[in-house]
């Protein structure tokens, strides 16, 4: 991995999310539900929801990264876990900010498998080492990415052991 960083500004994110939505639309895919992988995928899912006129947004809380290039051995789906009944028979677009290792996307995609009509993934960035090849990718990079929502430190630090910490 390069020491140089990919920097995504809010303005570029607006362009990226719009172009990502245009890829989905041009492909003819019509998601019934956009399933966001929290936390970075929340921004992507919201932007895609508006651009694709999808109001049915769901959330999957997944913990994997603990710092820059630091992660748990495997991603963990945290409560509240989406109810598969709510996803049943739907076309689901899984939205995240980056497909790095692909482990998080694989966990969520596999969670949906067998319950939904079709599941596809949309990410702003995909890295070459990702084990998941996303159907919709704005840009491919091997760099660490500075996202506008995660470059600043938290305003308040939560106590160690808090859910999601």
Q: What is the pLDDT of residue 1?
A: 46
Phi, psi of 32 (to 5 degrees): -85, -30
User: What are the pLDDT digits (tens) for 2-52?
Assistant: 478 999 999 999 999 999 999 999 999 999 999 999 999 999 999 999 999
Residue 77: which of 101, 99, 104, 100 has the closest Cα? Answer: 104
The encoded tokens of residue 91 equal 């076309």
Chain position carrying tokens 């500004």: 9
Give the separation between CA 111 and CA 70, rounded to whole angstroms: 24
pLDDT for res 109: 95
Cα(139)–Cα(129) distance, integer angstroms: 14
pLDDT in tens, 49-108: 999 999 999 999 988 766 666 677 788 888 888 888 889 999 999 999 999 999 999 999
- What is the spatial distance between Cα 97 and Cα 145, in angstroms, rounded to a whole number? 10
- Residue 115 host element (H or E): none
The tens digit of pLDDT for each residue in 112-142 reads 998 999 999 999 999 999 999 999 999 999 9
> What is the token pair recorded at 13?
């994110």
Query: Which residues, at least 6 apart from 126, have a Cβ–Cβ distance to it below 8 Å?
Result: 98, 99, 133, 134, 137, 139, 140, 141
**How far does the chain reach from its first CA to its final CA, in angstroms?**
26
At 130, give phi and psi (nearest 5°).
-60, 130
């Amino acid at each position: 991995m390069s020491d140089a960083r990919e920097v995504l500004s809010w303005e570029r994110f607006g362009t990226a999310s719009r172009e990502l939505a245009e890829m989905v639309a041009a492909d003819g895919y019509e998601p019934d539900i956009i399933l966001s992988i929290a936390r970075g995928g929340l921004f992507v899912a919201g932007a895609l929801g508006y651009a694709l006129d999808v109001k049915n947004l769901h959330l999957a809380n997944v913990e994997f990264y603990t710092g820059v290039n630091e992660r748990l051995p495997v991603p963990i789906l945290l409560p509240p876990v989406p109810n598969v009944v709510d996803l049943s028979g739907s076309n689901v677009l899984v939205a995240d900010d980056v497909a790095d290792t692909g482990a998080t996307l694989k966990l969520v995609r596999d969670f949906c498998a067998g319950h939904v009509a079709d599941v596809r993934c949309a990410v702003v960035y995909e890295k070459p080492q990702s084990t998941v090849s996303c159907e919709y990718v704005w840009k491919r990079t091997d760099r660490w990415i500075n996202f506008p929502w995660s470059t600043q430190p938290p305003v308040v630090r939560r106590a160690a052991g808090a859910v999601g910490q």
